[in-house]
């Protein structure tokens, strides 16, 4: 059997993970690659859980718009997908309104006021294991609720209580545990126990088919419904969270919560051939890296290289290597550091960056560091995509960072807190949990936002909406998203066919191509190895989990729900 045919059979059985940081669970059913996804005439939502897509669609059917649906879907994910859906984390939204205006919202977590540059180092300057990933000190000031209220204030058309109520009802009615979820609860049980005396996830050995009712979370959401944003950012819910964190040795204060604000930002927008791509700007590296990689490969006639073949993999790998080297050096929170975005995404600069690339042999990350910029002009997660019946499009990626974040579970409030602090560079040159290296630009400072890779993205062609997409997967988000743009644009794939393809990833350091196991043909892999590329297919890695929407030529919408998870497209 051909290896790429084997991909979906293997992916159905083996234990999968988004690299070590985001362990996922076995796919228990054997799935054929479905080429065509759910088709809707006017509105579509693709998210990590059926319950969440359904709730968002019900809001659209009530006459709500994509922004209303975003708020309802996000809160429904906080209930039904505690792995990554959250009120204790943060995220980014990229949108395009029906009249073609684009924009972005940053509700990324921030370092607490009491954070210091060396807070994860011991007296010898070495990183203290787990300090930035597990427990109270790993937590960044959460931004999710601030983000949802900011969206509502600017674009909401239904009342906030209408949008939050379905999540409250779902929490009370309970959510049926899927097989994948049951495995995850089992896998993380020990780390939940290590941090928390009690949590709903420890109440019993949850099995697939059981229903969990989230009464504490329902109460929290009711309070937010009744008292608004301030219930969290200064009020009782926030105070209880701060008290719990401080008991566990954390440093977030009520002052941190009172000062937190979500920020509207101009997204990164660039052209790839005749596509216009809009993606997240700093503090996410997503849009800048994607622009660098796609512009670097633009001069090549990609179509002549068969999909996922040796030359295609090589070209993308070399562009990725260079972009991630720049990421490590230059990128950080734009509110704190100058980042030469225009220079880094300039075509002449990128052409020069690619000039030492050779088809004959693998580049060496040890020899390819960040590029030289001449002068500065004045970087566990879930993604969902929405297109409403009015033509508005919303792409949102939200996260706790690792699976269930810091594992700190505010029992009284019924929610997990993030471990986003690990996205900072705790020490220059030392990898974080995604193996990403950082430098001064991404050093910790009070109130600074940690660099992200989350890349909610919108693609237009001929001035019209073409795709809405994004992914979880830490460092691999950027490469997962851009491979899907290329699948559709260069290889004429349908949306579902595209999200189901095997993916690969290179991030400069470590100097290897990470590949989903058994998704690539052995001849291409052999040729790459002969050229000197190191390939890692081990550890049952999966690269991203892409939920996307494609606008078909007749105006219908096709959902791409990634078969790597329980992801579901629903529409009308
Ligand atoms: O912001 C980031 O880039 C990371 N905190 C995202 C984490 C993630 O995607 C984990 N999921 N697999």
Evaluate: CB of 22 within 6 angstroms of ligand 1: yes
Evaluate: CB of 181 within 6 angstroms of ligand 1: no
CA distance 83 to 137: 19
What phi-psi label fits residue 404: left (phi over 0), alpha (psi between -120 and 50 degrees) or beta?
Answer: left
- Between the CA of residue 382 and those of 209, 262, 273, 355, what are the distances in Å? 22, 19, 29, 36
Per residue, what are the HEC states of 311-350? HHHHHHHHHHHHHHHHHHHHCCCCCCCCCCHHHHCCHHHH
Cα(401) to centroid of ligand 1, in Å? Answer: 5
Task: Specify the 3-state DSSP secondary structure of 154.
Answer: helix
Strands 568-571 and 557-561: unpaired
Q: Give nearest CA residue, ligand 1 atom 11.
A: 380
pLDDT at 5: 53
Write down how long the chain is: 572
Tokens of 280: 């997240």
Candidate from 434, 437, 475 with most ligand 1 atoms within 8 A of CB, to mutate: 434
Q: Give nearest CA residue, ligand 1 atom 4.
A: 474
82 CB-near residues (< 8 Å, 6+ apart): 201, 404, 415, 416
CA distance 224 to 215: 14
Evaluate: CB of 380 within 6 angstroms of ligand 1: yes
Considering the entire predicted model, what is its pTM? Answer: 0.94
Mind telling me the catalytic residues? 381
Candidate from 110, 401, 543 with most ligand 1 atoms within 8 A of CB, to mutate: 401
Q: pLDDT 10s digit of each residue in the chain, 572 long?
A: 455 555 554 444 333 344 334 443 333 233 456 789 999 999 999 999 999 999 999 999 999 999 999 999 999 999 999 999 999 999 999 999 999 999 999 999 999 999 999 999 999 999 999 999 999 999 999 999 999 999 999 999 999 999 999 999 999 999 999 999 999 999 999 999 999 988 898 888 999 999 999 999 999 999 999 999 999 999 999 999 999 999 999 999 999 999 999 999 999 999 999 999 999 999 999 999 999 999 999 999 999 999 999 999 999 999 999 999 999 999 999 999 999 999 999 999 999 999 999 999 999 999 988 887 654 433 279 999 999 999 999 999 999 999 999 999 999 999 999 999 999 999 999 999 999 999 999 999 999 999 999 999 999 999 999 999 999 999 999 999 999 999 999 999 999 999 999 999 999 999 999 999 989 999 999 999 999 999 998 765 789 999 999 999 999 999 999 999 999 999 99
Evaluate: CB of 474 within 6 angstroms of ligand 1: yes
Q: Helix 144-155 crosses helix 66-80 at what angle (to 10 degrees)?
A: 160
Evaluate: CB of 473 within 6 angstroms of ligand 1: yes
Evaluate: CB of 132 within 6 angstroms of ligand 1: no
Nearest to 233 by CA among 244, 242, 245, 246: 242
Residue position matching structure tokens 């190191």? 534
475 Cα nearest atom in ligand 1? 3
Task: Specify the 3-state DSSP secondary structure of 180.
Answer: helix
Tokens of 394: 């919303």
545 Cα nearest atom in ligand 1? 12
């Amino acid at each position: 059997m051909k290896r790429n045919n084997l991909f979906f059979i293997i992916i159905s059985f083996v234990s999968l993970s988004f690299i070590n940081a985001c362990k996922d669970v076995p796919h228990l059913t054997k799935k054929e690659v479905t080429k065509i996804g759910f088709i809707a005439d006017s509105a579509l939502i693709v998210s990590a859980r059926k319950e969440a897509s359904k709730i968002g669609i019900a809001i659209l059917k009530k006459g709500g718009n994509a922004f209303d649906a975003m708020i309802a879907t996000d809160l429904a994910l906080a209930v039904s997908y505690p792995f990554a859906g959250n009120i204790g984390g943060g995220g980014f939204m990229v949108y395009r309104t029906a009249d073609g205006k684009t924009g972005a919202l940053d509700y990324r977590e921030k370092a607490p006021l009491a954070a210091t540059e060396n807070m994860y180092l011991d007296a010898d300057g070495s990183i203290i294991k787990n300090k930035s990933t597990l427990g109270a000190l790993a937590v960044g000031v959460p931004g999710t609720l601030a983000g949802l209220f900011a969206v509502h204030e600017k674009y909401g058309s239904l009342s906030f209580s209408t949008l939050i109520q379905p999540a409250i009802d779902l929490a009370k009615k309970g959510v049926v545990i899927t097989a994948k979820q049951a495995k995850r609860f089992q896998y993380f049980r020990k780390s939940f126990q290590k941090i928390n005396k009690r949590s709903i996830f420890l109440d019993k050995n949850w099995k697939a088919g059981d229903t969990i009712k989230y009464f504490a979370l329902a109460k929290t959401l009711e309070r937010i419904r009744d008292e608004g944003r301030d219930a969290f950012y200064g009020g009782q819910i926030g105070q209880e969270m701060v008290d719990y964190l401080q008991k566990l040795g954390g440093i977030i204060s009520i002052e941190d919560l009172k000062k937190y604000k979500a920020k509207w930002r101009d997204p990164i927008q660039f052209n790839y051939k005749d596509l216009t791509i809009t993606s997240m700007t700093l503090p996410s590296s997503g849009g800048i890296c994607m622009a660098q990689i796609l512009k670097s490969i633009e001069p090549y006639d990609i179509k002549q290289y068969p999909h996922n073949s040796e030359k295609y993999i090589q070209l993308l790998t070399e562009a990725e290597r260079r972009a991630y080297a720049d990421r490590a050096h230059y990128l950080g929170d734009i509110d704190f550091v100058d980042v030469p975005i225009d220079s880094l995404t300039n075509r002449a600069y990128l052409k020069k960056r690619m000039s030492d690339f050779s088809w004959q042999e693998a580049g060496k990350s040890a020899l390819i560091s960040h590029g030289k910029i001449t002068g500065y002009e004045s970087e566990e997660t879930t993604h969902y995509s929405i297109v409403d019946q009015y033509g508005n499009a919303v792409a949102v990626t939200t996260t706790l960072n690792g699976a269930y974040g810091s594992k700190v579970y505010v029992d009284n409030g019924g929610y997990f807190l993030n471990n986003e602090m690990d996205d900072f560079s705790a020490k220059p040159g030392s990898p974080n949990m995604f193996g990403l290296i950082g430098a001064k630009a991404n050093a910790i400072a009070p109130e600074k936002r940690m660099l992200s890779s989350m890349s909610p993205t919108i693609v237009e062609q001929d001035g019209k909406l073409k795709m809405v997409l994004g992914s979880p997967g830490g460092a691999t988000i950027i490469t997962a998203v851009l491979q899907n743009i290329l699948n559709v644009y260069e290889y004429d794939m349908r949306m579902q066919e595209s999200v189901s393809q095997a993916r690969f990833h290179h991030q400069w350091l470590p100097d290897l191509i990470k590949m989903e196991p058994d998704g690539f043909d052995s001849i291409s892999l052999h040729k790459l190895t002969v050229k000197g590329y190191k390939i890692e297919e081990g550890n049952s890695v999966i690269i991203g989990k892409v939920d996307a929407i494609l606008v078909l030529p007749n105006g219908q919408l096709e959902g791409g729900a990634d078969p790597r998870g329980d992801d579901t497209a629903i529409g009308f």
